[in-house]
A = this chain, B = another copy of it.
């Protein structure tokens, strides 16, 4: 989904609201006819599809789609329907705070305001792409701030681009192994956010949510999932297995991340899009 759209979403509100606030007809003589403003928005889908190829944690139940019916019915109309089963945490999904924080929000309790709003992208792919054990550092975050000449804005959704989504769904390249089960855990290799950088983000900045284009916000070799604990303990949800981050600017876009609303869920499949102004 990368097409230019016209008069969509933000665009429409823009037109009507600007009309209301425009002073053009107050105190000046209007010499040109009013024109309808058309604003262009680009919607980018940051979500992988769910299928047999969807990448899951090596110990997690994978996605399965079962056919209920597919074809012409005896009443003369076509009909198709399926059932599916999955772990909450697989493919493009959200970690709700309670995934690693006992008193944290469940996925249905996360305020929508945290999941919809202004976002930034921090591209560490030059450092991470050839190092599947790369840990994103405080310096990586500060480098974004220096380049953009601003601290990470309060309330941002922060997306971390390692470049690894390029490998998806090749499990060996994307996460270090295509083996399954407990024995494969030690073979996981992919970049993540260092606990030091996670701590810096929650203590020195005020962010609404975080996302990454690898299977986990902690790197593959993590044993204690400290970045998860640090972020989720502060009710900052994490989006994992994102894609298409290379199509985003460093800032100046919105993210809308809407998880399946599972009551009491520790996470859920997530449909996440970016809207570029």
- A residues whose Cβ falls under 8 Å from a Cβ of B: 1, 3, 5, 7-10, 12-14, 16-18, 21-24, 27-28, 37, 39, 43, 45, 47-51, 60-61, 65, 68, 75-89, 92, 98-102, 108, 111-113, 116-118, 155, 223-225, 229, 252, 254, 256, 258-267, 269, 271-273, 277
Asked if residues A88 and B83 are in contact (CB atoms below 8 Å), the reply is yes
Q: How far is the CA of A98 from the CA of B265 in the complex (A)?
A: 29
A261 and B47 in contact (CB under 8 A), knowing A10-B13, A254-B9, A277-B16?
Answer: yes
Asked if residues A49 and B261 are in contact (CB atoms below 8 Å), the reply is yes
A43 and B113 in contact (CB under 8 A), knowing A87-B68, A88-B83, A254-B12?
Answer: yes
Distance in angstroms from A171 CB to nearest chain B CB is: 17
Residues on the B chain within 8 Å of A88, using CB: 81-84
Residues on the B chain within 8 Å of A264, using CB: 51, 65, 82
Distance in angstroms from A128 CB to nearest chain B CB is: 25
Which of B75, B92, B102 interacts with A224 by CB under 8 Å?
B75
Q: How far is the CA of A23 from the CA of B225 in the complex (A)?
A: 52
Q: How far is the CA of A24 from the CA of B28 in the complex (A)?
A: 10
Tallying the copies of this chain within the complex gives 2
Which of B17, B48, B81, B229 interacts with A18 by CB under 8 Å?
B17
Q: Which of A12, A79, A111, A261 has the most CB of B within 10 A?
A: A261
Asked if residues B87 and A273 are in contact (CB atoms below 8 Å), the reply is no
Q: List 9 A-B contacts (CB under 8 A).
A: A1-B113, A65-B264, A80-B99, A83-B85, A92-B261, A112-B273, A116-B273, A256-B258, A261-B271
Distance in angstroms from A217 CB to nearest chain B CB is: 14
Distance in angstroms from A66 CB to nearest chain B CB is: 9
Which of B9, B28, B113 interacts with A28 by CB under 8 Å?
B28
Across the two chains, which residue of chain B brings its CB closest to A2?
B112
Distance in angstroms from A90 CB to nearest chain B CB is: 10
Which of B9, B82, B252, B273 interacts with A266 by CB under 8 Å?
B82
Across the two chains, which residue of chain B brings its CB closest to A78?
B102
Asked if residues B100 and A79 are in contact (CB atoms below 8 Å), the reply is yes
Across the two chains, which residue of chain B brings its CB closest to A9?
B116
Across the two chains, which residue of chain B brings its CB closest to A256?
B256
Q: How far is the CA of A243 from the CA of B78 in the complex (A)?
A: 28
